[in-house]
Chains A and B, each alone.
Chain A
């Protein structure tokens, strides 16, 4: 398989997780592209403007990438903490609209600031890996870590509290769940994942501009989660992988990328209200797989 496509699929899976986290507590936030753009901008600025990090225009040490990721996580995390405290008082449609506004404000501001390169953006971001394979390896590792953390989260109290809020916020609150803090946690974690993903994406794409975090990106990432479902982290991961690959595979037919995403988010909630990947379906599939394997195994 094409390694560049594979890398894009991995980035898609990470962004899918970022949109999934607030939705796990029933909060539709479309802010992911905004935090993704901030993460990328942090990486682009640090690696091109600060010689001490070791960027010589061509190669770049991996340790500096890790440092950028830590800084991007700090910036997006603090920002999300402040913004989340305010916008998470809003519910439903109001929250969705306010996050759209947030992404648009960030985009307009970054288009107009001179140090982010304005409409042209930042070019010549140094490469920590000589080949796409290096990126794939690094991003796979990151995805694995994020997935493992999500899996831990879903088995512990905060993760279960998130699911409880999604089912019924009032009932969750009456069971002693601090709904405000739980929602804030999901929002901040979502921003962290998006910011860190932006760092890798900026290096991988070699250039970064304000259009990285536009409304289009909101739609794309939302489609990942609508397809994958909001019940388990595996859903958006599979959604991100499949839906990034699908339009590329359909490329011979024409540029159908956004039409495919449009169809997914139009038909998904109607045909699969829980998403395609649900815990029930997963266990059924794995049961079927095991049965098939048992049938094929020679009887002793």
Chain B
């Protein structure tokens, strides 16, 4: 029984990260109807920003070998700053990879390709500058907090509690913003129909930028937290999350905020429930879900039915 509780707790904290990650995809998808393939790279950037801001030094490879910021911020301050920086990068990605195509009314599929290009460039720039080796954020960065908490017979790492708490708060704030404020309603209007929204006095371009900025911020925060939890396994570590995030996204329903959360939790739990002798197949769980879902119910668990394009 305790084992099951432990598995559930582990699954929940992994699922919370997936949810946070997929929310970033969802925000952009809901306003533009395209997937930002650079999202995984921005997640990686968030982790590296956090690492540098808390005073981590660059290893011996890469052009910035041995570089270290003169300041060492505490983790709770470094994380939001890393989030903001990631948000700024996401705005840059929008500008380079999305806006020129939108201006030309190009096929949305092309934005899939350009954002993939932006992501590949970001990841490889990190590799060029900081080398391919892994960096780990020291666990001592959490200050005087204990390394793990005991919870009804199961042990949960403080990092995991933090992951769960931050994800919950951010998801809550985001939902409140989208449903409860004027600008959040504006976002919904743009996702419904950008041209009509524009006619009704909503600045569609600005809403799109807000969506990108927020999605980058969420990715940066998620990256920093995961970096703290499992260490940054080189510049490519966000790509794996990025591809898995697609599974979460499709399972929950593209463009649905509660769907992204539900999908994240389901896949996190499902991965935790994979028996240890089959653990090699754990990485295939998200894709299995994705594949099945696309065949059975392409709009996902909580998504709107797909319109038949005429």
Contacts and interface: CB of A to CB of B under 8 A. Distances in A.
A205 interface: no
B290 A86 contact: no
A129 B59 CA distance: 43
A217 to B, nearest CB: 12
B34 A93 contact: yes
Max chain B C-beta neighbours (<10 A), residue from A87, A104, A170, A254: A104
Contact of A266 (B114, B125, B284, B309): B114
Contacts of B298: 90, 94
A90 B281 contact: no
Interface of B (DSSP majority class): helix
A93 B108 contact: yes
B290 A273 contact: no
A105 B120 contact: no
Contacts of A254: 128
B121 A98 contact: no
A222 B116 contact: yes
A102 B110 CA distance: 21
A219 B124 CA distance: 13
Interface residues of A, number: 42
Given A86-B295, A262-B124, A269-B114, A93 B109 contact: yes
Contacts of A93: 34-35, 108-109, 112, 254
Interface string B94-125: 00110011001010111011101111110111
A105 B291 contact: yes
A75 B263 CA distance: 34
Nearest to A267: B117
Say which size band chain B's interface belongs to.
35 or more
B291 A102 contact: yes
A113 B247 CA distance: 23
Contact of B283 (A94, A104, A222, A268): A104
Contacts of A28: 109, 112-113
B289 to A, nearest CB: 9
Nearest to A218: B116
Contacts of A97: 35, 246, 250, 290, 294
A61 B91 CA distance: 57
B280 A108 contact: yes
B128 to A, nearest CB: 7
A266 B110 contact: no
B27 to A, nearest CB: 16
A105 B116 contact: no
B199 interface: no
A98 to B, nearest CB: 5
B101 A270 contact: yes
B106 A112 contact: no
Contacts of B128: 254-255, 259
A125 B141 CA distance: 49
A265 interface: yes
Contacts of B243: 100, 104, 215
Interface of A (DSSP majority class): helix
Contacts of A90: 294, 298
Nearest to A222: B113
A87 B294 contact: yes
A299 to B, nearest CB: 47
B287 interface: yes
Contacts of A269: 101, 106, 110, 113-114
Nearest to A112: B280
A92 B34 CA distance: 10
Contacts of B109: 28, 92-93, 96
A251 to B, nearest CB: 14
Nearest to A102: B291
A222 to B, nearest CB: 7
B290 A266 contact: no
Contacts of A91: 309
A223 B298 CA distance: 28
A161 B276 CA distance: 50
Contacts of A160: none
A265 B290 contact: no
A196 B147 CA distance: 53
A178 B15 CA distance: 43
B104 to A, nearest CB: 8
Interface string A109-128: 10110000000000000000
B278 to A, nearest CB: 8
A273 B114 CA distance: 11
Contacts of B125: 259
Contacts of A170: 309-310
A183 to B, nearest CB: 15
B116 A108 contact: no
Nearest to B110: A269
B152 to A, nearest CB: 34
Interface in A236-283: 254-256, 258-259, 261-270, 273
25 contacts: A92-B109, A93-B254, A94-B250, A94-B298, A97-B250, A98-B294, A101-B247, A101-B290, A101-B294, A104-B283, A223-B117, A254-B128, A256-B124, A258-B120, A259-B128, A261-B117, A261-B120, A262-B118, A262-B120, A263-B121, A266-B97, A268-B114, A268-B117, A269-B106, A273-B104
Given A96-B109, A262-B121, A262-B124, 16 more contacts: A87-B295, A96-B112, A97-B250, A97-B290, A101-B246, A102-B287, A105-B288, A222-B116, A255-B128, A259-B125, A263-B121, A264-B117, A265-B116, A269-B113, A270-B101, A273-B106
